[in-house]
Amino acid sequence: MTKTLLVTGAAGFIGSNFVRMLVKRRESVKIIAFDKLTYAGNMANLADLLGDQVVFVKGDICDPAAVTKAIEDYRVDEIVHFAAESHVDRSILGSGPFVQTNVVGTQVLLDAARAKDITKFLYVSTDEVYGTLPEDQPDVKFTEETPLQPNSPYSASKAGGDVLVRSYFHTFNMPLLTTRCSNNYGPYHFPEKLIPLFVTNLMEGKQVPLYGDGKNVRDWLYVEDHCDAIWTVLQRGAFGEAYNVGGNNEMTNRQITETILKAMDKPWDQFVKYVQDRPGHDRRYAIDATKIKEHLGWEPKFRFDSAIKTTIQWYRDNEKWWRDIKSGDYLKYYDTQYAGR
């Protein structure tokens, strides 16, 4: 029997890649793409996928009536919860929307899932909930047992959702799953984040802003690998468990910048501008993804050196997509497309 998935945040970067992957693989699921369309939600990410298999519902996860209505109208079986305020810099400017969506929104979804007997609920968390790692101990990585010690309002709000999920499992014995993934890159990534910002700035002939000394380390994973890991955990994960997801690909922001400049044939001196570091900028993230490999047989399939080239090429091939975002035109898409319907 075909299952119905409610995918929150489906018009964002990873959510839309997840929906795209399920459609491309011809998975036997109906997808209700539920999204508030904040500045980060973009109908252009989903437009070509909408039809019998994928239905779009505009709604706010903080609105219990809207969430319950979507679950009832479409007889939703399972929920994959991506929706979030996701940009650390914005959380430093103002944490209100982060607490609202990432904590309260998650609580609203959990309560609706409980009331409607949802058969599986997966919370897409992040490695940022663990805080930061020492740079001089490369063997130390985040495991699922690492205490949650978030350092930014963004990661604190994601940790709030993460521990709420944990508490609902222990209190109500609900069918809950959590993934904690490292930094993603790939198509449809909003150009306020490092890789798409740098690639599109260079295409526009502009400089790229590199924070601090450029030595902050992140573990980069191609978005399709993350989506595949989420699908794997949804199929075979044990309820109440969290699974780390990582690419085993630690790189400094400087190395990422060098890779992009080289691929785009731009000289460092002319195009890199060092800017003052982000306050509280975590130095190093690195994921130990042994558990998902040993328990569920998941491993990343994409290699960084080729997937970053695919990503850069995607931005070359989809100039209208990112230019509409940078000019703000994408915000008009929903109203133009759906006004009066």
Strand-pair partners of 122: 80, 177
The DSSP letter of residue 121 is: E
> Any catalytic annotation for residue 154?
yes
As separate numbers, helices (DSSP H) first and strands (DSSP E) second, the chain gives 14, 12
Side-chain-side CA neighbours of residue 249 (13 Å): 25
> Any catalytic annotation for residue 285?
no
Quick note: the x/- pattern for ligand NAD over 57-76, rule CB under 6 A, is ---xxx--------------
* Alpha helices by DSSP H, 88-152: 88-93, 96-98, 106-115
Interaction of residue 256 with ligand NAD, rule CB under 6 A: no
Strands 250-252 and 217-222: antiparallel
For residue 139, the one-letter residue type is D
- Three-state DSSP at 183 gives strand
Segment near ligand NAD (CB under 6 A), from 49-57, 84-92, 138-146, 258-266?
84-92
Interaction of residue 105 with ligand NAD, rule CB under 6 A: yes
Tokens linked to 121? 């609920």
- Residue whose C-alpha is closest to residue 11's, from 75, 71, 86: 86
Tokens linked to 161? 């959702």
The per-residue DSSP string of 203-228 comes to: HTT--EEEETTS--EEEEEEHHHHHH
Q: How far is the CB of 37 from ligand NAD (least distance, A)?
A: 5
Tokens linked to 250? 């630690």
Interface residue with ligand NAD, options 32, 80, 83, 194 (CB under 6 A): 83
Nearer to ligand NAD, 15 or 266 (CB): 15
Interaction of residue 11 with ligand NAD, rule CB under 6 A: yes
Q: Which of residues 189-228 bind ligand NAD (CB under 6 A)?
A: 190
Interaction of residue 131 with ligand NAD, rule CB under 6 A: no
Question: What's the distance, Cα to Cα, between the start and end of the chain in Å?
Answer: 31
Q: How far is the CB of 154 from ligand NAD (least distance, A)?
A: 8
Give CA angle at 329 (194, 201), nearest 5°.
30
Interaction of residue 12 with ligand NAD, rule CB under 6 A: yes
Interface residue with ligand NAD, options 29, 32, 44, 86 (CB under 6 A): 86
Interface residue with ligand NAD, options 5, 6, 7, 13 (CB under 6 A): 13
Active-site residue (options: 123, 130, 154, 334): 154
Residue corresponding to tokens 């810099």: 89
Interaction of residue 178 with ligand NAD, rule CB under 6 A: no
Quick note: the x/- pattern for ligand NAD over 15-54, rule CB under 6 A, is x-------------------xxxx-xx-------------
Q: How far is the CB of 212 from ligand NAD (least distance, A)?
A: 19
> Any catalytic annotation for residue 128?
yes
Which residue number places its CB atom closest to ligand NAD?
Answer: 12
**Residues of this chain that bind ligand NAD (CB under 6 A):** 8-9, 11-15, 35-38, 40-41, 60-62, 82-86, 101, 105, 124, 126, 158, 181, 183-184, 190
